Structure 1
Amino acid sequence: MSTHIGAQPGQIAPTVLLPGDPLRARWIAETFLDDAACYTEVRGMYGYTGTWQGEPVSVQGSGMGQPSMAIYVNELFAEYDVQQIIRVGSCGALTERVAIRDVVLASGACTDSAMNRHRFLGLDYAPVADFGLLSRANAAAEALEDVTHHVGLIYSSDSFYNPRAAELGKPLVDHGVLAVEMEASSLYTLAASYGRKALAICTVSD
């Protein structure tokens, strides 16, 4: 039983969907999973396990930002032997070619967070998605007629209300960054450190 999740061994599936909002986790479980059962409500961060098309899947809330998400990702990988985590959340578009309700599949993540600087003793690290998950998600998105999706870089910021957002936008867009959110960089880094798989799928909300 981990400190912040508190589930028993065997209660969490090898595949976990990771929304930040715990109420979104509950909605996903109740809407899409069969026989969904809640395994945690610790700190109001709901976690459920059920099945989708016969396969076991868990959904776990992770909170906002990289420090909060890193707690849950570390425990899922280290304590519950989770094999792949797919972040499902929202993001803000940085370029006009990405519209509201479009979906961004984050191939890699840049960040203003110091978390990786501490981990790598001041060096820069390039966190990337698992190629297999990214390829499968891209193929699935291409088969959907009513979904516009983009594959590319995302920017994981530690600041939701960033007073320098306007200054940062141009160089990010000039270097191919599509959108901003707050978690993907640490998710990809932790997945790499555990030898596991991860992907961030974000819907553009603004």
Structure 2
Amino acid sequence: MTSTSDDSEDPNDEIGYHIEVGADDVADAVLLPGNPERVDKITALWDEHDEVAYHREYRTATGTYDDAPISVTSTGIGSPSAAIAVEELARVGVDTFIRVGSCGAIQPEMAVGDLVITTGAVRQEGTSDEYVREDYPAAADGEVVSALVAAAERLGYDYHTGVTMSADSFYAGQGRPGFEGFEAAGSDALVEELQDANVKNIEMEASSILTIASVYGLRAGAVCSVYANRVTGEFRTEGESRAAETASLAVKLLARMDEVKREAGADRWHAGLSL
């Protein structure tokens, strides 16, 4: 029988095997866009930054936003690669994760360019199932949700809060036709069923990020720009910088929340504590 080692694919305990960053490279809070090209758009909003790693789809930069330490790591498309980022960032000390991305809205009143702040997610992806039983909730951390809402309010951006659905595929899993018009079983009713359940939007990473962070006792949330409304048929790549700015300001507010908690001797920030 061949023995195995947990370190067989990670010979350096101090540097993530895929993301190639260590504890000194990143802040405690990290934004998680999918597209590596979004890193430049996010860091353009910060006071200053340095790129610290770029390996595969994982591009990482660290800097400050309004004097608050902050990092960003791109995750690529989908939950499997997002889970790797969360795992390896957690191992070097990151405790707060905010997904920053784009999504399709499925409620008619939601406009292209609006923001969706996720409070919980439907786990229609397989990655989180490999961590915990399927009826375990994908819930956003309350402090992160509060910080994102406060940030959107301060910035004057239109936003919605609610449940997100995370899928494993862009086409069949989101009720879109595949090659040559292929339709997956049940895809014709998928969006309508989600609408009836008051789900706000569809994307591909949030539920795994929320679930894994929750299992590990870490903070996580998500804010996405609406690129498409699946009900009205409207599509524009709009609002990307709003999501990035909202998430960056949320990190600043979370840092303040943590200060207030320490001053008050509280374990959790709540509405009775001032920001």
TM range, smaller chain: over 0.9
Listed one character per residue, the Cα deviations across residues 67-90 of structure 1 (whole Å, up to 9, x for unaligned) are: 010011110112x11010111100
Displacement of 1:44 after TM fit? 4.8
1:42 aligns with 2:55: yes
**TM-score (structure 2 length as normaliser):** 0.70
Displacement of 1:124 after TM fit? 1.6
- Aligned residues with identical type, % of pairs: 38
Give the counterpart of 2:78 among 65, 70, 73.
65
Displacement of 1:118 after TM fit? 3.4
1:82 aligns with 2:94: yes
Contact 1:18 1:25 in 2 (8 A): no
Q: Which residue of 2 aligns with 1:144?
A: 155
The alignment partner of 2:138 has SS state of: coil
- Report the Cα distance in structure 2 between the residues aligned to 1:134 and 1:70, rounded to whole angstroms: 20
- Report the Cα distance in structure 2 between the residues aligned to 1:70 and 1:6, rounded to whole angstroms: 15
Q: Any gaps of 5 or more consecutive residues in structure 1?
A: none
Q: Which residue of 1 aligns with 2:165?
A: 155
Aligned length: 202
Query: Which amino acid is 2:70 matched to?
Result: V
- Report the Cα distance in structure 1 between the residues aligned to 2:113 and 2:59, rounded to whole angstroms: 25
Q: With CA pairs under 8 Å and 6+ residues apart, which has the higher RCO, 1 or 2?
A: 1
Alignment CA distance shift 1:144-1:51 (3 Å): closer
Q: Which residue of 2 aligns with 1:16?
A: 30
Question: Which residues of 2 match residues 1-206 of structure 1 at below 5 A?
Answer: 1-29=15-43, 31-78=44-91, 80-121=92-133, 123-145=134-156, 147-162=157-172, 163-164=183-184, 165-206=187-228
Query: Which amino acid is 1:20 matched to?
Result: G
Query: Which amino acid is 1:157 matched to?
Result: A
Listed one character per residue, the Cα deviations across residues 59-111 of structure 1 (whole Å, up to 9, x for unaligned) are: 11000100010011110112x11010111100001111111111000000002
- Report the Cα distance in structure 1 between the residues aligned to 2:200 and 2:33, rounded to whole angstroms: 20
